Amino acid sequence: MILIGLICFLSGVKTDSIVLYMSGIYLGLGLLLRYTVPSHHRKGMQLVKKQDYTGAIPLFEASYAFFTRKSWIDEYRYVTLLSSSRMCYREMALCNIAFCYSQTGEGQRATEYYNQTIMAYPENGIAQSALRMLNSVGK
């Protein structure tokens, strides 16, 4: 916000209008970044809402691959995506892949992805709970 304010000030925006311009630019930039950069993730979530779990898996895998190659985007998502999410996109992708496999009856694959999630993110409560549930029903 400070950088946006500085740009507005240096470009000659009137002092009494800077807050309005800053807010508009921040909102527009935030929407643009959230809808373009994590596009695979967003499309995967749309398919999950439609219960197309098989179709969502490759999109979450593509999201995981993208954020692995461009880890700095995910690591600094507070700035690069204006996202305050506590969970990074790679962690979300792994959980979503595992969830999709669990919904398609592939418990073993789901377990593998939940274990991969816990290996990379030991504090992930979603993966821990899902593994306990999968183990209790015998996969």
Please give the model's pTM, rounded to 2 decimal places. Answer: 0.75
User: Quick one: average pLDDT of 21-48?
Assistant: 79
For the chain, give every domain's residue range. Answer: 1-36, 38-136
Residue in this structure with the two tokens 């418990």, named with its chain if needed: 107
pLDDT of residue 123: 94
75-90 exposure pattern, b = at least 16 Cβ within 10 A, e = fewer = eebeeebbbeeeebbb
The count of C-alpha atoms lying within 13 angstroms of the C-alpha of 49, restricted to the half-sphere facing its C-beta, is 6
Please say if the pLDDT value at position 77 is more than 80.
no
pLDDT in tens, 48-69: 999 999 999 999 999 999 999 9
Rounded to an integer, what distance in angstroms lies between the CA atom of residue 120 and that of residue 123? 9
Question: For residue 132, what pLDDT is reported?
Answer: 93
Residue 74, judged by CB atoms within 10 A of its CB (0-12, 13-18, 19+), counts as buried
Average pLDDT of the chain, as a whole number: 85
Question: H-type helices in 37-137, by residue range?
Answer: 39-49, 53-69, 71-75, 77-80, 89-103, 107-120, 125-136
Taking the alpha carbons at both ends of the chain, their separation in whole angstroms is 48
In CATH, the number for domain 38-136 is 1.25.40.10
What confidence score (pLDDT) does residue 5 get?
A: 67
